[in-house]
Amino acid sequence: MNSTLKRVAVACLAMFALLMVNANYLQAVRAENLSEDARDQRNFFERYAVQRGRITAGGKVILAQSKETESTRFRFVREYPEGRLYAHITGFFSPESADAIEATENKLLDGSSSDLLLRRSIDLFTGEPTRGANVDLTINPKAQEAAHEALRKSGKRGALVALNPKTGAILAMVSLPTYEPAELSGTDKGKVFARYDQLAKDEGQPLLNRTIRQTYAPGSTFKVVTAAAFLEDDDSRGPTTTVEAPQRLPLPGTTISLPNYGGAACGAGQVPLVFALEKSCNTPFGDIGIKLGYDKMREQTEKFGMGLDLEVPMTVEKSDFGKEEDKAALAMSAIGQRSVRMTPLQMAMIAAGIANDGTVMKPYLVNKITDSKGDSIEEAEPDELTEAVSPETAAKLREMMVSVVNNGTANLAQIPGVQVGGKTGTAETSDGKPPHAWFISFAPANDPKIAVAVIVESGAARVGAEATGGGTAAPIAKQVMEAVLR
């Protein structure tokens, strides 16, 4: 073979080698990125070729399902029978993305999960088409409906989370304003993307799930955490322990002082701890925070789950007590202001932990997953998250929170024949708008089946007891508790 032929042969071999390397690189290294590239039209059509599984609540109410079409291009489209009511839970399934449960459970819903390998093998053998798994949620439909309706009637933005204190199961998750997921789940990219842009620019932020993705100053609801730290610091303390309650508390290192709400007095200057919580006095809890110190206060917040990475399965924004500053800042943090930031879910976890003898259960939303034939793939198992306080401290806190409802600022949360524990909150905002109205609660106090946290944005007037958290948010929580208990 002459040299020219040799060179040609070598060149051909080199080109074949490069082709093999490129093919393997594309199939092995870049395969996943290419398959997820929005420009891949095959990807686009394949999204609608498989019958995605149902999303249900309580095993009965259908929240999302795939409907077969007459189109030759798109075999299935997603529909949401209870769209706006469950939008922030189900999410949407758009031409190029998904949100909430539609996103976190996507591989199960579209049948591609390794957990469905046996089901896919059987379907292949029998000639049946691939179908996704069904995802059943822990949501109690009656609680969800009650929460949505009560919050909607307030005419305000807000959020509500209800938990089963003993398991951590999420019974209700409502964020307002809401949206219609079907509008973001069509096959017409132009319409879907245009509608998404409209919602994304809306001042009310309807796409935002305020229950887990938004943090707020918790206001006076945080006083139960300060009370917990105070009781845990000395087990001889209890509801009748006397605490300092001046009309104004001088803030160390400053020329200003902390007043009680509306500048009112808190008893005669020294009051039982339970009285301070009933009347939601600021000065006793500001003083307690200063005396306990930053480290003890932060440690107590962490015991309730603040700062932990949580998924329900959607990712939860971290709640935070804030960085260490001076004693004046600590006094404000002890009453739920300054740098303290909480999600409504975190506040529900605090109420649930107190109700559950001090144990905070890990919150979860997915109850059960079954294949297309109804065979169980996975079932939720309740899991302890933290030990927030001792059972003895939890009992003291429950006693005081029941007294808040019976004798204090939360009387509008009373349910005939049921002992309810709760704490109101009025959280000042930094934008000049009216304060947020908060309420956390649980019932029945002797055998808790539900814990609730509700926030009504700018829902509390600056004056007038009936316009605080007790007047605005407590009745909303009451309706949700009644929906579950009755």
In angstroms, how far is CA 194 from the centroid of its own chain? 28
- The CA distance from 484 to 179, in Å, is 25
The structure tokens 């001088």 sit at 250
Which residues have CB under 8 Å from 282's CB, separation 6+?
220, 249, 258, 259, 260, 261, 266, 335
In angstroms, how far is CA 359 from the centroid of its own chain? 18
Q: Annotate 158-185 with b (16+ C-beta within 10 A) or e (fewer).
A: bbbbbbbbbbbbbbbbbbbbbbebbbbb
- The CA distance from 238 to 240, in Å, is 5
Dump strand ranges (E) for 381-449.
384-387, 421-427, 436-443
- The CA distance from 170 to 102, in Å, is 17
Hey, which residues are catalytic here? 220
Q: Are 185 and 98 in contact (CB under 8 A)?
A: no
DSSP string for 33-79: HHHT-TT-HHHHHHTTTSBPPPEEETTTEEEEEEEE-S-SS-SEEEE
The tokens describing 282, both together, are 């600021």
Radius of gyration of the chain (CA): 27
Q: How far apart are the first and last CA of the chain?
A: 94
Provide the 3-class DSSP secondary structure of residue 309. Answer: coil
**Dihedral of the CA atoms 290, 345, 381, 135 (nearest 10)?**
-170
Instruction: Examine residue 181 and say whether the peptide bond preceding it is cis (omega within 30 degrees of 0).
Output: no
C-alpha pair distances (Å), 103 with each of 17, 60, 89, 280: 40, 22, 11, 42
C-alpha pair distances (Å), 339 with each of 217, 273, 458, 461: 7, 24, 18, 22
Q: Are 185 and 94 in contact (CB under 8 A)?
A: yes
Which residues have CB under 8 Å from 406's CB, separation 6+?
414
The structure tokens 């001090």 sit at 358
Helical packing angle, 141-153 and 474-485, nearest 10°: 160
